Chain A
Amino acid sequence: MTGVLVAALQVVVVAGGSPLLVGAMRQVRARLEGRAGPGVAQPWRDLRKLLRKEPLTPRGTTEVFRLAPVLLMATTLVVAAVVPFLTNATPLGPVADLFAVVALLSLGAVALALAGIDTGTAFGGMGASREVTIIALVEPTLLVAIFALSVRVGSTNLGDIVTSTLHDPALVISPVSLLAALAFAVAIIAETGRLPVDNPATHLELTMVHEAMVLEYAGPDLALVEWASAMRLAVFLGLLANLFAPWGIASLAGPLPVAVAVAALAGKVAVLGLALAVGEVFMAKLRLFRVPELLAGSFLLALLAVAASYFLA
């Protein structure tokens, strides 16, 4: 019973906190660039405004276009419920398999890419094509990077990986963890469309990837897409934090450990998000044709992590 409550709490924390995370990242960027910034709660105000508008879909689009935001949101919610964020013993623990989680996250991304194609506009198709190119290179990296951690545990269950790291903190500074963390971080940046790969702040035709796919959405659908994207960012950063530095996670049931776990998760994700935002200020966007190079590099790091987990263990 308490397990179900914790899983529900995870979903609430991720859903409620992710717009604040995005708002905080935008605020940090604004301040570093010398602007006043709209405030941390601005994404929430945007969502409220969008959710109140009437739903509109462009003429000629099919169910694919209408279902994509729901599918994106649903997969993200399932992942938020099963991944070991607050406790390493969620009731859906057995589902929190490395392959299942990565597959669910890609399913959402693919749904959005299909919706982009479904609109039949030039930008939608272009954005979808770019997104699929990036996903095809990112998914193997994500899988291999987490797989490197699962080799020494002997299980692909995320909860087991977190538990073993919790019991043996020396594993954190092993080369396997560091190489995998680096690969995972690059993959996250590409997958969530952050700066060297995609600029989330512009709608420039030549360079946009994520924005091109969702260009035709309006009203509640757009709110759902934006919200789910923010949640994906929070889920990925939370995964990075808990797989490689799982301290603070609640191994016992009870209000106090869970409260500590919420604070620890919020703190870790906030630190990662702010580091990402500060990094983005100093970075220029990579040319689209240089992106595969970056992703090949991160794939190599992930592969080295797996190799190291075999020969340096």
Chain B
Amino acid sequence: MTDTAALSSLSVQLLYLSCGAFLLAAVVVLWRRQLAAIVRVFALQGVALAGIVAVLAVEQRSLELALLAVGVLALRAIGLPWLVRRAMPAAGPARETSPLVNVAASLLAAAVLTLLAYAVAQPLITLSPSPVTRAVPVGLTVVLVGFFVLITRRRAVSQVIGFLLIDNGITAAAFLTTAEVPLIVELGVSLDVLFAVLVLQVLTTRMQAAFGDTDLDDLTELRDT
């Protein structure tokens, strides 16, 4: 378990600040319609996630965590947004025009999801109450918001971002609950995500070529002919 007795109040402040930015980024993804803006916000969320890991690394004087922070920054703030952006010019209109749930309602749904995550995380926090584990609901909220984006958005690019939000949330929850995510596990997960995005990018391009659009509803019209 994390050695929280040594956690100074400044690092707790910085940790909570990163968690706040992390959560805010997820909300803004729901809020904005421009796909380019959504990808930019996702990159900022990667920076916030790297910030969480960096604070933990400094606090535990762990080189492994510091390396992980750099890795998270490189992959989630630079690499993945770059890949998603590359898929975009081909991916039709630059806006999420008609999500299944309108934006105002999805923002209110996000409020409900936050409270749900808080309620669900209570048993986890009581296992070992500490300033770090108390931030776990933030990770869970981002997972739930990611699911919500995945369910309600119709553009391929926003769905990819929803998938990546889930992964960001899981990573944040992992770093906040465990003392150290082993380097090899985090590397494996990162590689997995990278490949998933590469495959989705190819898929998006193929969809664009086949339908001239990336509205995923078109996929329901596939038939054996």
Interface residue ranges, A against B (CB under 8 Å):
170, 173-176, 178-179, 292-293, 296-297, 299-301, 303-304, 307-308, 310-312
Does more than half of chain A's interface fall in helix, strand or loop, or is it mixed?
helix
Does more than half of chain B's interface fall in helix, strand or loop, or is it mixed?
helix
Contacts of A173 in B (CB 8 A): 13, 17
Residue contact B27 to A300, C-beta cutoff 8 Å = yes
Q: 0/1 per residue, B1-40, Cβ < 8 Å to A?
A: 0000000011001001101110110010001000000000
Given contacts A175-B23, A300-B108, A308-B16, 10 further A-B contacts (CB under 8 A): A170-B13, A175-B16, A293-B31, A297-B27, A299-B107, A304-B24, A304-B111, A308-B20, A308-B23, A312-B138
Residue contact B16 to A174, C-beta cutoff 8 Å = yes
Choose from A170, A174, A296, A301 the contact partner of B108 (Cβ within 8 Å).
A296
Contacts of A179 in B (CB 8 A): 20, 24
Residue contact A312 to B20, C-beta cutoff 8 Å = yes
Name the distance in Å between B70's Cβ and chain A's nearest Cβ. 24
Closest 3 CB pairs of A and B: A175-B20, A296-B104, A296-B107
- Interface residue range, chain B: 20 to 34
Kindly state the separation between the CA atoms of A99 and B20 in the bound complex, as whole angstroms: 26
Q: B110 within 8 Å of A by Cβ?
A: yes
Q: B216 within 8 Å of A by Cβ?
A: no
Contacts of A293 in B (CB 8 A): 31, 102-104, 107
A-B contact pairs, 24 of them (CB 8 A): A170-B13, A175-B16, A176-B20, A178-B17, A178-B20, A293-B103, A293-B107, A296-B103, A299-B111, A300-B27, A300-B107, A300-B108, A300-B111, A303-B111, A304-B23, A304-B27, A307-B115, A307-B137, A308-B16, A310-B118, A311-B118, A312-B16, A312-B134, A312-B135
